[in-house]
Amino acid sequence: MNNEPRSESPLVYYCPKCGDILPSRESGDSPECMESRCPCLNEITSPTFSERCKAEGTRDVVFLFQYATSEFIGHPYTEDGEYGHDGEGIILGDTVKGHWTPRQDAEYLTTEEMMEMETVDGHPCVIKNWKTEFVTLTREEGEKHGKERSYNYPDGWQVYGIPSNGRLADLIKTT
């Protein structure tokens, strides 16, 4: 459908999808700008349950919204020196006469750096745990929540698809 004005007024445009007259706000609006004002062009169609399962490659899929928590296990051990907590974070330091002191030129370790390091007995310094906050029927719903509230999840978040079983699977097949 041509989006040129159909009437003598140059400010009247029609939606190329449904044919409705598009509202005008400014005299200089282009046809492309006008098209964005039609509600039918902004409709979001959700995929069916079977389409979601096919896209995810998982039978009877539901989505878990999960956030990460970091569990501190112990201070890192290296041959360069001893790490300790100086009241603000974990930092490299030295023990002199039985007293640990942070190095002046050292930087604080991040959680990610500590996940890759080990304690003196070979355990990881930090372990990341994933906790499920809620379940959704669509990945998009979970991702939207995570993006809008990322400030609540400083250690990260993810949306994870899993297969459902039993009555839950039977119930959601109707969506």
* Confidence (pLDDT) at 42: 56
pLDDT band, residue 147 (cuts 50/70/90):
very high
Q: Tell me the whole-structure pTM to 2 decimals.
A: 0.58
Q: What is the sign, positive or negative, of the torsion defined by CA atoms of 49, 53, 58, 64?
A: negative
121: helix, strand or coil = coil
Cα–Cα distance for residue pair 128/15, rounded to 1 Å: 51
Q: Which of 81-85, 128-132, 133-137 has the lowest mean pLDDT?
A: 81-85
* Confidence (pLDDT) at 64: 93
Cα–Cα distance for residue pair 112/175, rounded to 1 Å: 40
What are 16-33's pLDDT values in tens digits? Answer: 666 666 665 555 555 555
Q: Looking at the chain, which runs of residues are DSSP E strands?
A: 13-14, 21-22, 61-72, 77-78, 81-85, 90-96, 99-102, 126-136, 157-163
Top-confidence residue, 46 or 93: 93
